[in-house]
A = this chain, B = another copy of it.
Amino acid sequence: MKVFGKRTSEGSRQITQKKEKLKNFLKEKGLKSTRQRDLIASEFLKIGEHITAEELYREINKKYSDIGYTTVYRTLKLLNKSGLAAERVFADNLTRYEPLSAEDHHDHLICMKCGSITEFQELKIERLQDRVAEEFGFLAVSHKMELYGYCNKCKDNA
A124, A129, A136 — most chain B CB neighbours (10 Å): A136
A interface, CB within 8 angstroms of B: 1, 3, 89, 91, 93, 109, 111-112, 118, 120, 122, 124-125, 128-129, 132-133, 135-152, 155
Cβ-closest chain B residue relative to A109:
B138
**What are the residues of chain B within 8 A of A118 when measuring CB–CB?**
136, 138
**What are the residues of chain B within 8 A of A120 when measuring CB–CB?**
132, 136
**What are the residues of chain B within 8 A of A138 when measuring CB–CB?**
109, 111, 118, 147, 149-152, 155
A89, A111, A137, A147 — most chain B CB neighbours (10 Å): A147
**What are the residues of chain B within 8 A of A141 when measuring CB–CB?**
112, 148-150
Assembled-state Cα–Cα distance A85/B91 (Å): 17
Cβ-closest chain B residue relative to A112:
B141
Assembled-state Cα–Cα distance A61/B55 (Å): 41
**What are the residues of chain B within 8 A of A148 when measuring CB–CB?**
140-144
Given contacts A129-B125, A152-B137, contact A144 B142 (CB under 8 A): no
* 7 A–B pairs (Cβ distance < 8 Å), ordered by A: A89-B93, A109-B132, A109-B138, A122-B128, A133-B149, A141-B148, A145-B145
Evaluate contact between B155 and A133: CB separation under 8 angstroms: no
Given contacts A1-B132, A144-B148, A145-B145, contact A139 B122 (CB under 8 A): no
Among the listed B3, B128, B133, B152, which residue makes an inter-chain contact with A128, where contact means beta carbons less than 8 Å apart?
B128
**What are the residues of chain B within 8 A of A152 when measuring CB–CB?**
136-138
Assembled-state Cα–Cα distance A138/B149 (Å): 7
